[in-house]
Structure 1
Amino acid sequence: MRSDRLGLLLDQFDCARERAQVRLAGLGDEEYLWEPVPGCWSIRPRAEATTPRAFGPGDWVLDQGAPEIPASEYAEVARQAADGMTVAKIADDWGVSVERVEQILGDSNPPEPDASPVTTIAWRLGHLHVDFAGRWEWTFGERRQDPRQLVDFTPDAALAADRFWALIDRWRDSVATVTDEQLDTVGFSQYPYGSDPDDPFFDALWGTNLEFIHHMSEIALLRDLWRARFSPQGQGPFEG
């Protein structure tokens, strides 16, 4: 195991990827699109989209609601302001109004838990796919294409997984070439949805690992729930 900064992050990513690929094996189309509760976000044919900002370049789009800053990110907003980022820049980064940012910064009460929609495996995998496709484009690519137009969503679970793992391999191979100087470079990644342009690449890379781990954990739990739903007394979840 490597002990340098980049090596630690690569080892963490490799371990998470290995476990995630095992947990995603055998995913079928019905499970992929399963909506465990009413009102789920998922991928849908363009003509059947129900959310105001659903996006994608093809016949299927990924659900997305109105812009908002989740309560879990209020501390990040406060950090951005403390580090000198203007309220206008914070609002632009999150896609919300200046007034909304000012409201968050001026509220000293503990935030209420997020009323976030439940999302399907298809949505979570699609969200991760967009994130990694966009980060590659705006870090190692031409830095010009809209991340929301880079992924052609599909109801075919096997095809979606194959495309996703190919992208993940490209990301990992590119990250492995980064130098120490680039790790410390502020704005080495110009990914437009987030604080990457204002952060050292090491911070952005750490956050990308976290994004991969937590969404893949959610997918693993949904797979457990899917299997338990059709098992006597809810027995027989996946191991791991």
Structure 2
Amino acid sequence: MTLPSASDPATRDVIAAFEAARSRLFGRLDGLTDAEYLWEPVADSLSIRAGDDGIFRVAELIPEPVPGVPDPVTTIAWRIWHIGSLCLRGYVTHFFEDVPDLGDRHEWPGTAKEGVQALAKDWEHFTTRIAALGDKRLLAPMGVGPGTWADETYLKLTLHALREVAHHGGEIGLLRDLYLRQDS
């Protein structure tokens, strides 16, 4: 992936932080197999699954928390979908104008290779849009978006996206480590 360029200092630093996160995450995804991608470490893991039409879709978006019940365990495929489609693609869709049709956010590739490629594409759409803002627009209220987000800055959105990437990227790394050592 080519790093989007930004000349304004805050925008440049945000893009550099995303590049560092991308490099770490995609390094951890290198060589991901289909078996790892879809591995369900516990019964009832959330994942993506093929429907009757053969198209893979996310089984459940974000389940409602139930008091006293831990959140469900998710697969690597679900986490890659969550970062790419739900977060990065969703942010482009909801917070930028003149967005091209990016497809059904619930559909996701059923293979590791295609899933990582889809994540890279969503990553590029998001970081290219952020890089094009420049510092003045990055620090101004967005003016678009659901709920109270229209009053927030693109910087806040970008930092939120970075937290999501770091959080779920770390979980992907742990799931890979557990998968590789499950017979140890």
TM-score by length of 2: 0.82
Kept in 2, the 8 Å contact 1:133–1:151? The answer is no
Structure 1 residue 26: Cα displacement? 0.5
SS at structure 2 position matched to 1:64: coil
Which stretches of structure 1, 4 residues or more, deviate above 6 A after TM superposition? none
Distance 1:211 1:165, change over 3 A: same
Once the two structures are superposed, the pairs formed by residues 113-124 of structure 1 within 5 Å of their partners are 115-124=70-79
Residues 1:135 and 2:140 are matched in the alignment: no
Instruction: Determine the structure 2 residue equivalent to 1:51.
Output: none
> Counterparts of 1:5-84 in structure 2 under 5 Å?
5-47=10-52, 59-64=55-60, 68=64, 70=65
Superposition RMSD in Å: 2.9
Structure 2 CA distance for aligned equivalents of residues 24 and 66 of structure 1: 23
Q: Which segments of 5 or more consecutive residues in structure 1 lack a partner in the other structure?
A: 49-57, 72-111, 235-240
**Runs of at least 5 residues in structure 2 that lack an aligned partner in the other structure:** 1-6
Q: Which of 171, 179, 201 lines up with 2:154 in the alignment?
A: 201
CA drift of 1:65 comes to 6.2
The SS at the match of 2:132 is coil
Contact 1:46 1:59 in 2 (8 A): yes
C-alpha distance in structure 1 between counterparts of 2:106 and 2:62, whole Å: 21
Whichever of the two has the greater Rg, that structure is 1
Alignment identity in percent? 29
Q: Between Structure 1 and Structure 2, how many residues are aligned?
A: 177
Using CA pairs below 8 Å that are at least 6 residues apart, which structure has the higher relative contact order?
2
| Cα deviation code 1:28-68 (max 9, x no counterpart) | 111100000111000012249xxxxxxxxx82211226863
Matches within 5 A, 1:43-192: 43-47=48-52, 59-64=55-60, 68=64, 70=65, 115-130=70-85, 131-142=87-98, 149-150=104-105, 152-188=107-143, 190=145, 192=146
Q: Which amino acid aligns with 1:160?
A: G
1:222 paired with 2:178, answer no
SS in 2 for 1:61: strand
Cα shift readout 1:2-31 (whole Å, capped 9, x = no counterpart): 993323222211111111111000111111
In 2 relative to 1, CA 20–186 (structure 1 residues): closer, same or farther, beyond 3 Å? same
Q: In structure 1, how many angstroms separate the alpha carbons of the residues matched to 2:27 and 2:103?
A: 27
Q: Give, in angstroms, the shift of residue 138 of structure 1.
A: 2.6
TM-score when normalising by structure 1: 0.64
Would you say the 8 A contact 1:43–1:123 is kept in 2? yes
For 1:201 and 1:216, locate their aligned partners in 2 and report how far apart those are by CA, in whole Å.
Answer: 22
